């Protein structure tokens, strides 16, 4: 049965509390910061898509130059605070920490980054000075990580930026698409406000491209346009029964979770989650924490090929989620229009596919799961109709760029709408690249 209000308010609070709590004291941060070896040409820095100078910001914590530390982080990544909570650091900076090679725990880089950036945000240290307006105007579509990152760089150079955002809040998937125990809606709002406090960035909410505004209009009104509208549509499984009541996509499920009270959110008794990416993990753990009695994750390949990190898998396992490897959804069955069963075909691994991973091959056998809710997390689709209708060159809906420039002069793009959906930190870097290309296009030298 799908129902809400399954837990006490205390239980909800506990289940959705910070999964990676911050350092409680300065001493605690110091112990870890002092462990850092201050590597040269550091592997952690090279493994960060935004190239944050990790040894430098950690050294600055040890010298109690927290302002300098935050500045170091934000100079490379204006969403350094959010990234410290949502980055899969185990496969980025922390995964590359040289301590791993000594079989020692890596430096808790994310936790230290959170320490410095939270201090900056809570004290409202404004660490960047915007140059006086130079009379250039840039429109950005999407107030997610790529859009905000691009806007901040442009604003610093004295460019006036207007961001058009289809939702009523900024932050993009940070706000709407990430498990609640990683970042709270309040934090996301604070982060957007902290970034835009530099000035010169005007966010217009509830303005969707192709509905409330047109690309043509933006091109007319602004000196350049940056498209950072992300991806949105959940990939369909293309199997029978997808329209049954109780079948949801993970993106909408998490969106609901991020925009409503926990108690009002309904989950099933027995939930199946399809997929093994980060969003699948988020959906599974959040369903369990909303009170679902049984959550089963179904993935057509094995642990070797899963897109989520081992760390994320462990979170799901510790939350008590079942995992069935080598099972591909074949059909969703229902009674009276409501989900009752998920039929999966058992797979085995065959030859490597284009991604280099061994591809799943059906064995012909099937398994049947009794479920009352199915959450699909099989990836997201680009907004291909929007892209095509505006004549933007693309590949399967993903915008094609050359140094952040699209095929349309003066129109640039970056982030998920280009790469099809990567980490927040990748989008932030894309925003920086976009800003650099736009500055060059506008003839501004730094």
Partner 1 sequence: MADISANFLGIKSPNPFWLASAPPTDKKINVLRAYEAGWGGVVWKTLGSQVKNVSSRYSAVDYGGHRVMGFNNIELISDRPLDINLKEITEVVKLFPDRAMIVSLMADNNRAAWHKLIQQCEDAGAMGFELNFGCPHGMTERGMGAAVGQDPQIAKMVVEWVMEKATIPVITKLTPNVHSVVPTGRAAVEGGTNALSLINTIQSVTGINLDTLVPNPYVAGKSVFGGYCGPAVKPIALKMLTTIAQDELTSKVPISGIGGVSTWKDAVEFMLLGSTTVQVCTAAMKHGFRIVEDMCEGLNNWMDEKGYKTINDFIGKSVEKITHWEDLDINYHHIAHINQDKCIHCGLCYIACEDTSHQSINLAYGKPYNTYSIKEEECVGCNLCQLVCPVDGCITMEEHRVAPEYINWKQWQAEGRALNDH
Cα–Cα separations (whole angstroms), residue 296 to 30, 53, 243, 333 = 41, 40, 20, 16
CA distance 411 to 306: 35
Sign for the pseudo-dihedral over CA of 200, 206, 212, 214: positive
Which residue, 386, 406, 414, is CA-closest to 210?
A: 386
Nearest residue (CB) to partner 1, 1 versus 31: 31
Which residues lie near partner 1 (CB under 8 A)? 30-31, 33-34, 37-44, 46-47, 62, 96, 98-99, 101-102
Sign for the pseudo-dihedral over CA of 317, 180, 149, 221: positive
Nearest residue (CB) to partner 1, 77 versus 155: 77
Tell me the closest approach of the beta carbon of residue 303 to partner 1, in angstroms: 24
CA distance 413 to 426: 13
Tell me the closest approach of the beta carbon of residue 52 to partner 1, in angstroms: 13
Nearest residue (CB) to partner 1, 380 versus 429: 429
> Edge-to-edge, what's the strand order for the sheet holding 358-370?
327-335, 338-352, 358-370
Tell me the closest approach of the beta carbon of residue 35 to partner 1, in angstroms: 8
Nearest residue (CB) to partner 1, 37 versus 134: 37
Nearest residue (CB) to partner 1, 42 versus 251: 42
CA distance 109 to 47: 12
- Both tokens of 106, joined, read 């890596």
Nearest residue (CB) to partner 1, 83 versus 201: 83
Nearest residue (CB) to partner 1, 99 versus 128: 99
Tell me the closest approach of the beta carbon of residue 46 to partner 1, in angstroms: 4
| Contact present, 52 and 72 (Cβ < 8 Å) | yes
CA distance 320 to 308: 17
Tell me the closest approach of the beta carbon of residue 99 to partner 1, in angstroms: 8
Task: For residue 3, count other CB atoms closer than 10 A to its CB.
Answer: 12
Nearest residue (CB) to partner 1, 38 versus 205: 38
CA distance 7 to 127: 43
Contacts of 250 (CB under 8 A, 6+ apart): 234, 273, 275, 279, 280, 282, 283, 375, 376, 377
Nearest residue (CB) to partner 1, 59 versus 114: 59
Nearest residue (CB) to partner 1, 61 versus 437: 61
Contacts of 237 (CB under 8 A, 6+ apart): 274, 329, 376, 378
Q: At 77, which helix (H) or strand (E)?
A: none
- Both tokens of 192, joined, read 């957007």
Tell me the closest approach of the beta carbon of residue 69 to partner 1, in angstroms: 16
Tell me the closest approach of the beta carbon of residue 138 to partner 1, in angstroms: 33
Strands of 188-262 (E only): list them.
201-204, 224-227, 233-234, 247-249
B/e letters for 334-372, b = 16+ CB within 10 Å, e = fewer, are beeeebbbbbbbbbebeeeeeeeebebeeeeeeeebebb
Nearest residue (CB) to partner 1, 30 versus 324: 30
Q: Which residue has the tokens 């790529």?
A: 146
Tell me the closest approach of the beta carbon of residue 273 to partner 1, in angstroms: 33
């Amino acid at each position: 049965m799908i129902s809400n209000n399954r837990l006490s308010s205390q239980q909800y609070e506990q289940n959705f509390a910070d999964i990676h709590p911050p350092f409680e004291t300065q001493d605690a941060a110091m112990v870890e910061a002092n462990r850092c070896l201050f590597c040269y040409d550091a592997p952690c820095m090279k493994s960060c898509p935004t190239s944050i100078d990790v040894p430098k910001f950690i050294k600055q914590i040890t010298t109690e130059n927290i302002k300098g530390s935050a500045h170091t982080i934000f100079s490379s990544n204006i969403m350094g605070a959010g990234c410290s909570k949502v980055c899969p650091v185990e496969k980025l900076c922390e995964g590359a920490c040289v301590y791993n090679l000594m079989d020692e725990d890596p430096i808790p880089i994310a936790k230290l980054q959170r320490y410095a950036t939270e201090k900056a945000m809570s004290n409202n240290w404004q660490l960047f000075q915007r140059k006086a307006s130079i009379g250039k105007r840039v429109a950005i579509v999407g107030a997610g990580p790529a859009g905000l990152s691009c806007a901040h760089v442009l604003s610093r150079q004295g460019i006036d930026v207007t961001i058009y955002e289809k939702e009523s809040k900024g932050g993009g998937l940070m706000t709407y698409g990430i498990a609640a125990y990683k970042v709270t809606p309040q934090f996301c709002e604070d982060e957007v406000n902290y970034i835009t406090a530099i000035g010169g960035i005007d966010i217009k909410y509830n303005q969707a491209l192709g509905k409330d505004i047109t690309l043509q209009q933006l091109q007319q009104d602004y000196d350049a346009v940056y498209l950072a509208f992300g991806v949105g549509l959940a990939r369909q499984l293309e199997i029978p029964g997808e329209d049954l009541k109780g079948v949801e996509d993970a993106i909408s499920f998490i969106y609901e979770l991020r925009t409503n009270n926990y108690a009002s959110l309904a989950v099933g008794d027995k939930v199946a989650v399809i997929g093994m990416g980060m969003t699948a993990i988020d959906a599974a753990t959040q369903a369990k924490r909303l009170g679902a009695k049984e959550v089963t994750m179904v993935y057509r390949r094995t642990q070797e090929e899963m897109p989520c990190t081992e760390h994320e898998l462990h979170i799901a396992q510790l939350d008590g989620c079942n995992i069935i490897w080598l099972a591909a959804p074949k059909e969703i069955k229902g009674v009276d229009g409501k989900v009752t069963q998920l039929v999966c075909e058992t797979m085995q691994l065959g030859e490597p596919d284009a991604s280099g991973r061994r591809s799943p091959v059906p064995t012909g056998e099937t398994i049947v799961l009794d479920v009352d809710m199915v959450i699909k997390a099989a990836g997201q689709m680009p907004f291909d109709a929007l892209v095509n209708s505006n004549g933007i060159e693309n590949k399967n809906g993903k915008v094609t760029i050359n140094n952040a420039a699209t095929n349309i002069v003066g129109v640039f793009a970056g982030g998920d709408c280009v790469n099809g959906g990567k980490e927040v930190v990748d989008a932030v870097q894309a925003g920086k690249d976009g800003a650099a290309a736009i500055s060059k296009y506008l003839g501004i030298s730094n």
